[in-house]
Amino acid sequence: MDNEMAGVLDELAKAAERLGRNPDECMRWVLKFAQADLPKYSEGQWADLATEVAIFIGRGPLVSVGRNITHLGAAFDWSGPPPKSARLKEEWVTYAPHPSRQQVLALQKHTKEALDIFAQRKELKFVLGPLHMTLEPWRVSRGGLSLKSHTPVDAFKFHLALLFSHYYGRVRSCGECSTLFLADRRNQLYCATRCLTRVTQRRWRERHMKKKPSKTTKRSLRQAGAKGARHGTKRR
């Protein structure tokens, strides 16, 4: 193996690790991807993200299949492009190890729109082209099921739908900053401790500031007391 090939394999391995080593980490990668400020990314960040997206398209996220946690890939079908009747205008049909920025931005937009609907627990529909499904008994690690799609976009959407099906009710919008996040607890309402702290402090101030008289109120009370003393008013 030459140095160039070794470098490519190392890059792919690192990108796969960034995608996540378990289903929860994969779901958090999707949330991060959907909400990332991509125009501010550096050249290096774009290169890393393109590789991650390509891996997600090719083999999908880690999901639970029976007792196993594995990749249930819906790989691109190399046998040819999809029929024109099944091809959407905005979707590309040529697979590349590094999708273009325009392609990544289009996938991000679709992912964010899907997550917004999913977080509200509404019906979410993915429109896909034809998928080829093959049962392969010898591939026990993948549940014996192999899938192929006609376009990389179909593969991406299939993997999103597959991953989302394991997280109904856990993807939520933060009650403080509106960031979409993966809840670890049933009663978790905020994405991070900092948001919970801000809400707690704000509620504390609102509750205690109402009880504590302002400087103007204190001054008025002192003036009223002095006026009462001049006119011989006694306190009861």
d(C-alpha 120, C-alpha 172), whole Å = 8
d(C-alpha 23, C-alpha 233), whole Å = 76
| Cα 3 to chain centroid, rounded | 35
Comparing 230 with 72, the larger pLDDT belongs to 72
CB atoms within 10 A of CB 125: 8
| Cα 196 to chain centroid, rounded | 20
DSSP 165: T
Identify the band that residue 120 occupies on the pLDDT scale cut at 50, 70 and 90: very high
Q: Is the pLDDT of residue 236 over 50?
A: no
Q: Quote the pLDDT of residue 93.
A: 62
E strands, the chain, are 62-65, 68-71, 74-76, 131-135, 145-149, 171-173, 180-182
Supply the pTM of this predicted model: 0.78
d(C-alpha 111, C-alpha 115), whole Å = 6
d(C-alpha 138, C-alpha 51), whole Å = 29
Q: What is the CA radius of gyration of the chain?
A: 28
Residue range 153-195, pLDDT digits in tens: 888 999 999 999 999 999 999 999 999 999 999 999 999 999 9
Q: Quote the pLDDT of residue 9.
A: 84
Place of tokens 């996938």: 107
Comparing 150 with 159, the larger pLDDT belongs to 159
d(C-alpha 86, C-alpha 66), whole Å = 32
Residue range 16-45, pLDDT digits in tens: 999 999 999 999 999 999 999 999 999 999
Comparing 70 with 235, the larger pLDDT belongs to 70
